[in-house]
Amino acid sequence: MSALAAEMAARALQLGIPLSAQLDLTYRCNERCVHCYLDHRDHGEMATAEILDLLDQMAAAGVFYLTLSGGEILMRKDFFEILEHARALTFCIKLKTNGVLIRAPQAGRIRALGVESVQISIYSHRPETHDAITKMPGSLRQSIRAARLLRERGVRVIFASVLMRQNARDYSGVKALAAELGAQFILDPTITPMMDGDRSILELNVDEEALREVFRNEGLVGNAEEFCAPPQGPDADALDCLPCSAGHTACYVSPYGDVYPCVQFPLPSGNVRCTKFAEIWRHSPQLNDVRSITLRDMPSCSLCAHGGTCTRCPGLAYLEGNMRGPSSQDCEKSFARTGIASENLLAKKAAPQLRPPSQLIQIQSLPQAVNSE
Amino acid sequence: MKNARYVARSAAIASRALGEETMVMSAASSTLFTLDEIATLLWQSADGVTPLDEIVRDKICARFDISPDVALRDAEDFVEQLAAHGILLISDQPIASPVLASGEPR
Ligand code: SF4
Ligand code: SF4
């Protein structure tokens, strides 16, 4: 983040403005990725008019960075109507797509509408691996075609890869492919549990050794020595820090109108089909609860040596059962990075799990959460 | 006497008010700018049909204690800078339907 963007984020925090929002237009998808956390059936997506109205409300509330994602955004027949409306409201727009449905006309329209960037999921540079992950033969070829069409028109493209057992050694190949096409590359080492709390897909996570290798790759992390330095423990400033932007300057809205602090933090906080977006943003008890948390209030993390440097995700912690608790996936990352295990990780390793992890949490739904008209 | 100059917000930008300031991002370069209160007034008034000197006189000098000559000179520098980044268009003719909405919702 540039210094100016950080300054604007600090200002938004002070003013209580949701500077960034992700809106998932659909959970339907033409791919069936093995690691995907979504239920792809349509349980009553917002209609076009509802989405256009929501965009008006989001602009009025101060949302500037808008990510349109899914599911596959181009599965919606009204996708360009939505995009046009969003650009008329002058959002800074990032699209997340698999690119399969992007041909020359779509690429041209995306370019003409002044989208800031298009993020395309690429899991491997090898078709056999990528297509096995998406379970769609020919998908790598089609995603690369989309990237080329967009780049030829001057659109900024980002290749996003999720690290998993199937592609554990392929990120360098994807990065090289991105460079060849003039695209950027980001690697996400986190597999997100299913939104209903099922954690079985976490079995796809790479092992410790592969994670360690990623964290020592200077092409990905910059200065590896600094990145992997032993933790110093949180100082007083870190203890008063906010965990992340979720619920503070950012939020997520599902295709059914449910508002959550973040796409990776499925705490139901309201539904725009029955309450105005700004009202939810300002007064939702759930969002206010999230806002009240600092590192100081987290019993394990505030005492953990990694407390000041850990990438702890409150959403993943919530998915584990306690948003004020540690996130085991981040404990594992902190360990792979520094070689020092957190108390939580040691305790987990010592105590065998009595129940399957998928039963450890229950995602409660607001009454209006799934509302088919 | 100088010819009138017209200014219009480019369609290839993203923008949003943040308190009294405005954030503007150029789509071409992904560069972020912030406009202070006076610059925001100028930005909001850049409708392609109101001459720049009129904007300065009616919107800026009417609100801030600043001499019209100085304000116009500053405004001209400012619009040149924004035009160089492609986020504002300048013309000596009115600019017909140049822009998307001002960032305000319907
Ligand atoms: S840390 Fe987790 S909850 Fe916070 S913004 Fe990142 S993904 Fe979302
Ligand atoms: S390593 Fe685990 S316990 Fe320590 S701060 Fe991170 S999430 Fe919390």
Position B102 confidence tier, pLDDT thresholds 50, 70, 90: very low
Distance A311 CA to ligand 1 centre (A): 9
Tell me what pLDDT residue B29 has: 79
Q: Is residue B99 part of a domain?
A: no
Q: Is residue B105 part of a domain?
A: no
Position A323 confidence tier, pLDDT thresholds 50, 70, 90: very high
Q: Is residue B15 part of a domain?
A: yes
Q: And the tokens for A248?
A: 């503070």
Q: Is residue B96 part of a domain?
A: no
Q: Is residue B10 part of a domain?
A: yes
Average pLDDT for A62-70: 97
Q: How much of chain A exceeds pLDDT 70, in percent?
A: 94
> Higher-confidence residue: A360 or A228?
A228
d(CA A66, CA A20): 6
- Evaluate if residue A154 carries a pLDDT over 50: yes
Q: Is residue B79 part of a domain?
A: yes
Which of A92, A119, A157 to mutate to probe the B interface, most B CBs <10 Å?
A: A92
Sheet containing strand B47-51, edge to edge, reads B47-51, B6-9, B88-91
d(CA A160, CA A119): 6
Position B97 confidence tier, pLDDT thresholds 50, 70, 90: low
d(CA A173, CA B1): 63
CB contact under 8 A, A5 and B32: yes
Q: Determine the structural domain holding residue B65 and report its residue range.
A: 6-91
CB contact under 8 A, B25 and A92: yes
Q: And the tokens for A120?
A: 């395309």
Can you tell me which atom of ligand 2 is nearest the CA of A333?
Answer: 1
Q: How far is CA A58 from CA A6, A26, A89, A200, A283, in A?
A: 21, 18, 10, 35, 15
Q: DSSP assignment of A39-68, as one string?
A: --S-S-PPPHHHHHHHHHHHHHHT--EEEE
Number of domains in chain B: 1
Residue B16 distance to chain A (closest CA, Å): 6
Q: In chain B, which residues touch A (CB < 8 A)?
A: 11-19, 21, 23, 25, 27-28, 30, 32-34, 100-106
Please report, to the nearest 10 degrees, the dihedral formed by the alpha carbons of residues A182, A188, A189, A191 taken in order.
Answer: -140
Tell me what pLDDT residue A353 has: 53
Task: Please identify which residue in the block is written with the tokens 């000197």.
Answer: B53
CB contact under 8 A, B103 and A90: yes
Q: And the tokens for A267?
A: 């705490």
3-class DSSP state of B88: strand
Q: Which residues of A touch B103 (CB under 8 A)?
A: 59, 89-90
- Evaluate if residue A47 carries a pLDDT over 60: yes
- Evaluate if residue B99 carries a pLDDT over 60: no
Tell me what pLDDT residue A163 has: 93
Closest CA to A92 of B46, B38, B28, B81: B28
Q: Is the CB of A245 under 6 A from ligand 1?
A: yes
- List the CATH number of the domain containing B84: 3.90.930.60
Q: Which residues of A touch B105 (CB under 8 A)?
A: 55-57, 59-60, 89
Give per-residue burial for A125-146: e unless 16+ CB within 10 Å, then b: beeebbbbbbebeebbebbbbb
- Evaluate if residue A362 carries a pLDDT over 50: no
Tell me what pLDDT residue A106 has: 98
- Evaluate if residue A78 carries a pLDDT over 70: yes
Position A202 confidence tier, pLDDT thresholds 50, 70, 90: confident
Which H or E run contains A185? strand A184-188
Q: Is residue B104 part of a domain?
A: no
- Evaluate if residue A366 carries a pLDDT over 50: no
Q: Is residue B64 part of a domain?
A: yes
Out of A11, A88, A93, whose CB is closest to B18?
A11
Site to substitute for ligand 2 among A312, A313, A318, A329, most atoms within 8 A of C-beta: A312
